[in-house]
């Protein structure tokens, strides 16, 4: 089974989620999304599989979130997605995608719901 993980190796939850995938002998595609940001089409696909709106996937504790006033509810989804692509640190992690489903690995065991 081919599983995709949007991974940040500096994040303990991301590392733990990756370890779970490895323990299940998954065929893993690791995407270091901070080094290789998502394209808009890819971000929209992930959001759709998560059944999330862009705001649901944003890390609200990041400095850029506060600096850019992204808590402003009048900001459009398109604007938020653009900010996420330009500043991938804003994207919650890890995201695991398998077939037409996706989940955030928080807690890491949540990945077991889709594999």
State the catalytic residues: 11
Helix (H, G, I), strand (E, B) or coil at 17: helix
DSSP string for 7-54: E-TT-HHHHHHHHHHHHTT-EEEEEETTTSPPPHHHHHHHHHHHT--G
Name the 3-class secondary structure at 9.
coil
Q: Helix (H, G, I), strand (E, B), or coil: what is residue 82?
A: helix
């Amino acid at each position: 089974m081919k599983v995709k993980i949007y991974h940040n190796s500096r994040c303990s939850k991301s590392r733990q989620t990756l370890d779970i995938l490895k323990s299940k002998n998954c065929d893993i595609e690791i995407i270091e999304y901070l080094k290789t940001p998502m394209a808009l089409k890819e971000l929209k696909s992930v959001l759709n599989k998560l059944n999330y709106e862009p705001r649901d996937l944003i890390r609200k504790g990041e400095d850029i979130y506060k600096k850019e006033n992204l808590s402003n509810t009048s900001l459009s989804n398109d604007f938020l997605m653009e900010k996420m692509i330009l500043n991938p640190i804003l994207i919650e992690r890890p995201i695991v995608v398998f077939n037409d489903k996706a989940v955030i690995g928080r807690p890491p065991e949540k990945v077991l719901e889709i594999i």
